[in-house]
Structure 1
Amino acid sequence: MTIDKTDITKTTQSVAVLGANGHTGRFVVTELLRRGLKPIAIGRNAERLAAAGFPGRGIQCREAVVEDDEALDRALAGAAAVINCAGPFMDTADAVARAALRAGIHYLDVTAEQPSVQATFERHEVAARKAGVAIIPAMGFYGGLADLLVAAVMDEWEHADTIEIRVALDSWLPTRGTRVTGEKNTARRLAVSGGQLEPVHQPPAERVSILPAPFGRQTFVELPFSEVPLIARHVRTKELHSFLSTIALRDVRDPSTPPPQAVDETGRSAQRFAVEVIVAQGDMRRRIVAQGQDIYAVSAPIICEAVQRILSRDIRDVGAKPPAAIFNAASFLQALGPDLSVEISET
């Protein structure tokens, strides 16, 4: 297989995907094609890119490793944005974001890692704003979705007393990338307590909630992901806590749990998810619930919707920002309708 290293003219239709041959990366490439955009598939190994079937679909392939700045620069040539699907993001996000800034293009990733999100904001906000580009970490199921749900349900509220996020999965069949990231990410998880980012109290708190079918009564344990540093970046709240269902936690901690298995022609697994957000301000409470299928697959329409809006300039701001600081949350969630059902209620 020959890797194209020519410097093509930049076009708003070209989007580079790093880690394109990975589990989530393949969903992203397919979603970009569905939306009429032109993916550039980037991976560490030419043979793996070929094995993913990209050349047969007319997809341009390029080889690069994050340790090689020159290779990254060649791989991003001609793209208007880069989507980083190559975790662990504590190992890749900084190098790819720096390459995006050198190229003057937008950067997005799908990290669930809190330290990666924090580092991306701290290191790249000034340069991204100066370059007039958007840098958005955690623009996937973990992180970005909860950030958008919080912003949508708060609506006109300028602050909240408490925000709780509860993620229910009827199973969690983790990819190899998820397992590798879990082994490497040993940082203490953070929540907002008393208006400040603080380590999660031990033992972690538990919650019980009644969710729509097929979930019903679910037990949750506090286990925050990348949504916390996203939301804390732009939402004023005294308390922000995020919980994962004990069913999902049991699966992902069991080394014998198999990886996802496709059940339809799109490659999605049968996994179902629900994300419940409850915000409170004084005596008022608001609740929003989003449901869908396959947390890895749904990250593709989420991040590709973000790219499409950025390229069409349907954004509020630039710089290194959380999703809800750049997009209109309600409009964004509505656009995900085929892949996500959302219901808001007063409680």
Structure 2
Amino acid sequence: MSDILIYGAYGYSGRLIAEAAVARGMRPVLAGRDATRTAALAHELGLPFRSFALEQPSQVDQGLQGIAVVLHCAGPFSATAAPMLDGCLRARAHYLDICGEYQVIEAVAARDAALREAGIMAMCGVGMDVVPTDCLAAHMRRRMPGAVRLDIYIRALEQLSPGTATTMIEGMGLPNVVRAGGQLVERTAGADRRKVPFPDRTVSMVSVPWGDIATAWRTTGIADIAVHMSLLPGAPIMVALSRYGRSLQQSAPVQRALKALVRRFVTGPGAGQREAGRCEFIAEARDAQGKLCRSYLATREGYALTVDSACAIAARVLAGQARPGFQTPGGLFGADFVLELPGSERRDLV
């Protein structure tokens, strides 16, 4: 088997990845549930395609025949990751996705024994979620092997894709979650706010339940991990509202209405914005004596980074650089993998 299949290829990120894969000399099979949209993109790029939904295992099995690697780009991953992973296990195809939801990552990681038995690998977050932060976490572990706490600060995603916006809507009204003592622990949403100095200015940030509380823990073994995100315009109001009315915000009518608005109005950053934008990350590690290490990472804009890293990881896996079981980007490819991506630079601050 030598083929890679991109599922959700006509979505915002999926299309960008498919176009970039072709530019890099790859010939992926494009796939998605909408046959018309999948066929149109495949015709445009001169690629083979398949159309199948994920609800019926028999359709998934047929869709994955002859496939060695699946790059899953169709969210919401809370609904799509499990059936696609099940299909990969049956087909013995490696599973990659661009998911950043810690709940999904934990669920995929829980299948580690089944993955090893099948001789395949699963890796979540092969894009902006969570390649740069996971590689930075691995770097901090390398700098401070005795670290007991890790804080990751993310300044990125100033304009969202439809998929990312939908994921954020699904998280409305839910508590923050951190890793404490090696366990996932709920915290009050919006309670942990900080002013964090970046090279050009101090940035307001809030702790969020990002995927690194699942991935960085497995990459580093550090028991206490929290992730903090820069506050976008209007975010303080949203954070304050998230403490109240959880049942209302999570109700089906509200979720449907907000997701309909996303489908209508959210298009994601254009080519110029992707090319001009930047993402910045700071990681702080502390040991039991309170000693601090601090490092800074800058990369291309988040969706541009997702394209670069997803294509690079897919190519590596196709070339045989896979390890059976659940793996993380920094754990398998190392702390310096992110520096191989265009536009990435890292420096140690303390």
Question: The TM-score by the shorter chain falls in which range?
Answer: 0.7 to 0.9
**Deviation of the 1:152 alpha carbon:** 2.0
Match of 2:99? 111
Counterpart Cα distance in 2 of 1:146 and 1:243: 11
Indicate conservation of the 8 Å contact 2:155/2:230, yes or no: yes
Residue identity in the other structure for 2:57: D
Match of 2:20? 31
Indicate conservation of the 8 Å contact 2:299/2:345, yes or no: no
Within a 5 Å distance, the mapping from 1:186-201 to structure 2 comes to: 188-201=175-188
Counterpart Cα distance in 2 of 1:306 and 1:261: 23
Q: Secondary structure at the match of 2:348?
A: strand
Q: Secondary structure at the match of 1:65?
A: coil
**Deviation of the 1:248 alpha carbon:** 6.1
- Where structure 2 has 5 or more consecutive residues not aligned to the other structure, the ranges are 239-257
Within a 5 Å distance, the mapping from 1:216-235 to structure 2 comes to: 216-235=201-220
Q: Secondary structure at the match of 1:288?
A: strand
Q: What whole-Å deviation, never above 9, does each CA across 1:219-243 have from its counterpart, x for those lacking one?
A: 1011131111111234232421110
Q: Among 148, 158, 162, which residue is 1:172 paired with?
A: 158
Within a 5 Å distance, the mapping from 1:1-347 to structure 2 comes to: 10-11=1-2, 14-51=3-40, 53-122=41-110, 124-155=111-142, 157-169=144-156, 172-185=158-171, 188-213=175-200, 216-247=201-232, 250=235, 258-264=266-272, 268=274, 270-281=276-287, 282-315=289-322, 317-330=323-336, 332-336=337-341, 338=342, 340-347=343-350
Counterpart Cα distance in 2 of 1:344 and 1:241: 21
Distance change (3 Å), C-alpha of 1:299 and 1:112 = same
**Deviation of the 1:23 alpha carbon:** 0.4
**Deviation of the 1:111 alpha carbon:** 1.0
User: How large is the RMSD of aligned CA atoms in angstroms?
Assistant: 2.6
* Structure 1 or 2: more helix by fraction: 2
Q: Secondary structure at the match of 1:212?
A: coil
Counterpart Cα distance in 2 of 1:251 and 1:77: 47
Q: What whole-Å deviation, never above 9, does each CA across 1:68-113 have from its counterpart, x for those lacking one?
A: 2222222222221001110110101011111111111100111121
Distance change (3 Å), C-alpha of 1:94 and 1:55 = same
- Where structure 1 has 5 or more consecutive residues not aligned to the other structure, the ranges are 1-9
Counterpart Cα distance in 1 of 2:237 and 2:117: 41
**Deviation of the 1:270 alpha carbon:** 4.5
**Deviation of the 1:328 alpha carbon:** 2.1
**Deviation of the 1:203 alpha carbon:** 4.6
Return the structure number with greater relative CO, CA threshold 8 A, min gap 6: 2
Match of 2:255? none
Q: Alignment length, in residue pairs?
A: 325
Indicate conservation of the 8 Å contact 2:19/2:45, yes or no: no
Q: Secondary structure at the match of 2:126?
A: coil
Counterpart Cα distance in 2 of 1:271 and 1:346: 23
Match of 2:245? none
Match of 1:3? none
Residue identity in the other structure for 2:44: G
* Identity rate, percent: 24
Q: What whole-Å deviation, never above 9, does each CA across 1:46-71 have from its counterpart, x for those lacking one?
A: 211244x3213211111011112222
Counterpart Cα distance in 2 of 1:180 and 1:66: 19
